[in-house]
Amino acid sequence: MGREKIAITSASQGGLDDLVAQSFGRCKTFTIVELEGSRIVKVEAIENPAVSVGHGAGPLAAQTLANKGVSKVVVTRLGPRAEAALRSLGIEVVYVEPEITVREALRKLGVKA
């Protein structure tokens, strides 16, 4: 079984019980979940360095996640520049509905969270 890293936009401090953020480029944190198959082996919350930049928040956030080895991002919505940046970096985008927790979003992807 291979390992995979998934990043989920997080509204506050990150973690499985945080809400999925409504924004990608300006979310406060990303919860990065490392999986082995459909099993969680590590959860890490990182601050989004793009949260307060003037312009280019989406591409900066995308590059940050690529540097962390993320292969998939879970979002509620995404701007066109951020989406293009993620796709150019080979990061798959998965959309979920708003007002759910990171744990619920992962379950929708078949992860045992």
Span 51-80, average pLDDT: 94
pLDDT score for 60: 95
Contact 92, 25 (CB under 8 A): no
pTM: 0.94
Q: Is the pLDDT of residue 1 over 80?
A: no
pLDDT score for 66: 98
Domain 3-108 part of CATH 3.30.420.130: yes
In tens, the pLDDT along 73-111 reads 999 999 899 999 999 999 999 999 999 999 999 999 999
Span 28-56, average pLDDT: 94
Full DSSP string of the chain: --EEEEEEEESSS-STTSBBPS-STT-SEEEEEEEETTEEEEEEEEE-TTTT-SS-HHHHHHHHHHHTT--EEEES---HHHHHHHHHTT-EEEE--SS-BHHHHHHHTT-B-
pLDDT score for 53: 87
